[in-house]
């Protein structure tokens, strides 16, 4: 069941999300678009952190996103992308009009049954659905400790937010791959990143301050972060590929 309060928390941010959230590695997009594609739709596109990889891989890129502030950042950043306000349960795109649909870090917010039917409607037969999630590397003790403080559901799920399934209605599972990469990030940017996470966005001021203080203690104590201004943060990007039946 999707938590509507958490799902709508992104309505409050835009530029901070774009500035502080990690991007995605190009190979993650290339796995889904191995040859140049005609038309690709990025659903739940946010500020365009995954969308921005697509113009190099497809002739026509469409972005659909329900949060106006997030979409405003995307429009300013990617003026050549066709951008629409909309959601996965009612996609403002014609039947059978796209070759690939990508969903980065957003599928877990969708009403799965309704969204799958809508994605199948807009995809041409045999088209690709790609689900992508960045998650923390379980071997990174300080990042895992921060997740346990501020995003326990993710930490408990062994670092992954993925809610991909072997079978989705109307789709055949093709393959899953992991892309491992490292982001160089300052302590200040790492802390700001947490303020863009849904659990922080909906928390009361006191609870948010407590979580920040606890994460700062982790960074002060872990041997990999203690006394340093910048860190090497390992990130794992999961890519799940499905084919429309």
Ligand X SMILES: C[S@@+](CC[C@H](N)C(=O)[O-])C[C@H]1O[C@@H](n2cnc3c(N)ncnc32)[C@H](O)[C@@H]1O
Out of 29, 31, 58, 105, which residue is the one contacting ligand X (CB under 6 A)? 105
Confirm or reject binding of residue 106 to ligand X (CB under 6 A).
yes
Do the Cβ atoms of 10 and 198 come closer than 8 Å? yes
Residues 84-103 that bind ligand X (CB under 6 A): 87-89
Number of residues that bind ligand X (CB under 6 A): 21
CB of 234 to ligand X, least distance (A): 18
Confirm or reject binding of residue 181 to ligand X (CB under 6 A).
no
Out of 14, 25, 49, 78, which residue is the one contacting ligand X (CB under 6 A)? 49
Strand, coil or helix: 6: helix
Confirm or reject binding of residue 109 to ligand X (CB under 6 A).
yes
Confirm or reject binding of residue 70 to ligand X (CB under 6 A).
yes
Confirm or reject binding of residue 46 to ligand X (CB under 6 A).
yes
Confirm or reject binding of residue 40 to ligand X (CB under 6 A).
no
In the complex, residue closest to ligand X by CB: 46
Report the 3 state secondary structure along 41-84.
EEECCCCCCCHHHCCCCEEEEEEEECCHHHHHHHHHHCCCCEEE
Region binding ligand X by CB under 6 A among candidate stretches 66-74, 168-176, 182-190, 216-224: 66-74
Contacts of 151 (CB under 8 A, 6+ apart): 197, 199
CB of 217 to ligand X, least distance (A): 26
Q: Return residues touching ligand X (CB under 6 A).
A: 7, 10, 21, 43-46, 49-50, 65-67, 70, 87-89, 104-106, 109-110
């Amino acid at each position: 069941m999707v938590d509507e309060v958490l799902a709508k928390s992104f309505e409050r941010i835009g530029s901070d999300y774009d500035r502080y959230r990690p991007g995605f590695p190009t190979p993650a997009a290339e796995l889904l678009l191995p040859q140049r594609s005609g038309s690709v739709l990025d659903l739940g596109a946010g500020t365009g952190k995954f969308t921005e990889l697509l113009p190099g891989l497809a002739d026509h890129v469409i972005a659909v996103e329900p949060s106006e502030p997030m979409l405003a950042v995307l429009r300013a950043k990617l003026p050549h992308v066709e951008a629409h306000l909309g959601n996965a349960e009612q996609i403002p795109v014609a039947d059978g009009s796209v070759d690939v649909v990508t969903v980065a870090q957003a599928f877990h917010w969708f009403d799965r049954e309704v969204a799958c039917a809508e994605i199948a409607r807009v995809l041409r037969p045999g088209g690709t659905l790609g689900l992508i999630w960045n998650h923390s590397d379980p071997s990174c003790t300080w990042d895992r400790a921060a997740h346990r403080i501020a995003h326990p559901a993710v930490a408990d799920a062994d670092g992954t937010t993925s809610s991909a399934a072997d079978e989705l209605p109307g789709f055949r599972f093709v393959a899953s791959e992991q892309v491992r990469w490292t982001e160089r990030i300052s302590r200040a940017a790492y802390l700001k990143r947490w303020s863009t996470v849904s659990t922080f966005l909906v928390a009361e001021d006191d609870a948010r301050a407590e979580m920040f203080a606890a994460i700062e203690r982790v960074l002060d104590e872990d041997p990999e972060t203690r006394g340093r201004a910048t860190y090497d943060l390992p990130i794992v990007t999961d890519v799940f590929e499905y084919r429309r039946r």
